[in-house]
Amino acid sequence: MLFMGIDVGTQGVRCVVAGEDGSIAAAHSVPFAQLNVAKTGGWYEQSPAAWVEAAERAIQVCTSQLGSPEDIAAVSIDGTSGTIVALDRDMQPLTNGIMYNDPRARTQAAIAHAALGDIEAKLGYRFGASFSLPRVLWVRDELPEIYERTRLFAHQADYIAGMLCGEYAASDYSNALKTGYDLVDKRWPEEYASKLGLDLEKLPRVVRPGEPIARVSATASARLGLPTSAWVVGGSTDGYASALAAGAVAPGRWASILGTTFVLKGVTEKLVIDPNGSSYSHLLPGGSWLLGGAANLGGRVLNFARGDKSFDEMNEASEALIPTGVRCYPLTGRGERFPFVLPDCEPFYVGDVTGGRLYPAIMEGVGFGERLAFERMEALGCAVGDTVYTTGGACRSALWLKIRASILNRELRVPEVVDAAMGSALLAASEHFGGLTRAANAMIRYTASVEPDTALVPRYEEIYGKFRADVRRFYGVEV
């Protein structure tokens, strides 16, 4: 039995087909020809037709790679969080997809915040311009004729699911979070109509991620090679799917995703409200919660530190320099959003970064920030296990894995397949296995396990104590 996961990302579509043991039977990626088709400067839009074209091509290549595509039992799709498109009564797009990073709805975000403070307090977030609800309000306010013609506001993943099964008016409660779906009471808030004047009929019905929606249509089957026996099931956002692919599926499990930036997501038994607003929770299918935050800290700054040398050269040269003794918070610009919110803070460096020490010092600084984030989660009452599941480009560096494991004093485990599409494949398989955790236990393979270096742990412990004092001194935040 096979399970297909489709990741509709910022730059293209990735499709994987996985077996019951997690082996990859087929995989293919298709980039978008254009990443932004907005005609207004500073706005970000993509063509839904481009989403469909890339998704169809990725699926076709995968089904052609399979000896038995009829063995595909289910398909799940993830998409960028907060991306929304207006559809007419024939489920044809009335707008381009308004992307997750489009800033146009700032005024509407303030309106939603003023009207729905109770919802924000209940669920632990604040409506911002990156949320899809303000974008729905923007269409109503700025494009009233389009709003009147709109039958449905669909998320990016919903639109691709509809292309596969003909059911566009179903969404999952991961994507629906940023449209303001009440994850506690499982409903669209009635205040949408009474306080915002929105037509609730224009919003989709909401299912849990992994819940069957409809079978693949005969039309899609003929075009794409998928069997009509395959179910299209509820999907998720891309960040949610990435956390699942890493193994964050049960309470105490945490996915630390370190690439250009740092994202931390972990599973809690109960909904956790973060008073400083740096993190918020998604709901997992089994009833536990996926708490997380995204930092501006990350690996991007290493590009500047390595100069004209390769990462491999820099890693080899840095091995003998750790611990550097440097304490730094190596932001690439101004502001931080997790584990504290400080829009105007700037990077700091304390210590000697000459003699090649800058590169490993940055690795250590990110590791210190990662530990700070875990301690923030523990301060909120979250359980954190002795093992951290990690993905992202930083996992290509054995040196950085050793540094991070030693600073955290926890084992780091790296999965074989780190694509968000694999997380969607897990959701596709969850019904078959009787739950997401069982699917993950059967299908996720780990290729590396890095233990803390016993010689480095006490030395990093001492430096980290000084680092925390630096954060308080430079940023004025309690950590």
Least confident of 28-32, 142-146, 166-170, 256-260: 256-260
CATH (residue range 248-475):
3.30.420.40
pLDDT tens digits for 308-330?
Answer: 899 999 999 999 999 999 999 99
Q: Indicate if the pLDDT at residue 468 is higher than 90.
A: yes
Domain ranges of the chain: 2-239, 248-475
Q: Indicate if the pLDDT at residue 418 is higher than 90.
A: no
* pLDDT of amino acid 115: 95
At 238, is the pLDDT very low, low, confident or very high (cuts 50, 70, 90)? very high
pLDDT tens digits for 402-415?
Answer: 999 999 999 999 99
* pLDDT of amino acid 219: 97
CATH (residue range 2-239):
3.30.420.40
Task: Identify each DSSP E strand in 376-476 by its residue range.
Answer: 387-391, 411-415, 446-450
Q: How far is CA 302 from CA 308, 363, 401, in A?
A: 12, 8, 15
79, 421 contact by CB (below 8 A): no
Q: Indicate if the pLDDT at residue 332 is higher than 90.
A: no
* pLDDT of amino acid 2: 98
Same topology, domains 2-239 and 248-475? Answer is yes
Residue in 304, 293, 299, 292 with CA at minimum distance from that of residue 261: 299
252, 200 contact by CB (below 8 A): no
Sheet containing 24-31: order of strands? 24-31, 12-19, 2-8, 72-79, 231-237, 212-215
Query: Cα(98)–Cα(51) distance, rounded to whole angstroms?
Result: 13
Percent of the chain topping pLDDT 70: 100
